[in-house]
């Protein structure tokens, strides 16, 4: 699930995340483009690519496999998700490994089935 808030107003901070809490069936990342940075005001401009560019279904524990493909939620799957994709949320109190402080992005791009190294390099735009 993709969650996005803020960023629509000029100077507004954008908060975004990719949640694997309810399971996983396709690789997905979120990239922000055309953001404003307000370094002079002490506000950062970290707009990292977040999500999971890996096909986790192949590594899903047998007990967590969905009959329609993908991997369901659960403790074993959540630990796998977090270990392989640290820039996702795997439970209600989880946070991404990469900090974000993005101000007023003009474009939020959601990419399904991205190249496997899309997030691994810690891309910051």
Exposure string for 42-62, b = 16+ CB within 10 A, e = fewer: eeeeebbbbbbbbbbbeebee
Other beta carbons less than 10 A from residue 116's beta carbon: 12
pLDDT tens column, 76-98: 788 888 888 898 888 888 888 88
**Boundaries of every domain in the chain:** 2-112
Residue 125 confidence class, pLDDT cut points 50, 70, 90: very low
Q: What is the pTM of this model?
A: 0.73
DSSP 81: H
Sheet of strand 28-33: strand arrangement: 50-52, 28-33, 107-112
Strand, helix or coil for residue 3: strand
pLDDT tens column, 32-82: 877 555 444 445 557 888 888 888 877 888 888 877 778 886 777 888 888
The CATH number assigned to the domain with range 2-112 reads: 2.60.110.10
């Amino acid at each position: 699930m993709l969650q996005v808030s803020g960023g629509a107003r000029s100077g507004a901070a954008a908060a975004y995340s990719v949640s694997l809490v309810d399971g996983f069936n396709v690789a997905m990342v979120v990239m922000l483009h055309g953001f404003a940075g307000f370094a002079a005001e002490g506000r950062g401009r970290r707009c990292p690519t977040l999500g999971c560019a890996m096909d986790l279904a192949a590594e899903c524990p047998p007990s967590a496999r969905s009959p329609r493909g993908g991997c369901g939620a659960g403790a074993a799957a959540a630990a796998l998700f977090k270990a392989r994709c640290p820039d996702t949320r795997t439970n209600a109190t989880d946070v991404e490994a990469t900090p974000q402080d993005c101000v007023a992005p003009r474009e939020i791009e959601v990419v399904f089935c991205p190249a496997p190294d899309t997030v691994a390099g810690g891309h910051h735009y």
